[in-house]
Amino acid sequence: MRGICLLRQLCHLCKMCQVLSPLLTNDSNHEGWPEVVAHDVLRHVQNIKSRVYVVSGQVRGKTLLPLPVGADRPDSLQEDSAADDK
């Protein structure tokens, strides 16, 4: 019973990260925030996402490495590479 509860909580935490991460990392949601606060929130969101990803892998018996910053935003990566080509 205890293991099942922990798995459910981890599943809920993963889903919560998937929902809240885009909201907290969207630059338009940071309007009016001091720049230091916005960067700190982005850093903490990335940190918690990485930790949840690694722990979820450990629970499943897999070794998962944390995702690099911006890996969940492929559109921004394409824009950056297009800007570098110019």
Q: Report yes or no: 50 and 67 within 8 Å, Cβ to Cβ.
A: yes
pLDDT surpasses 70 at 80? no
pLDDT surpasses 80 at 81? no
* pTM of this prediction exceeds 0.95: no
Domain span at residue 50 reads 2-85
Q: What is the largest CA-CA distance in the chain?
A: 58
- Which pairs from 4-7 meet CB under 8 Å and 24+ separation? 6/59, 7/59
Residue 22 CB neighbour total at 10 angstroms? 13
**Model confidence pLDDT, tens digit, residues 11-54:** 888 898 889 988 998 989 999 999 999 999 999 999 998 898 88
Which ranges of 1-86 would DSSP assign to H, the alpha helix?
A: 2-25, 35-59, 74-85
Q: How many domains, in total, are found in the chain? A: 1
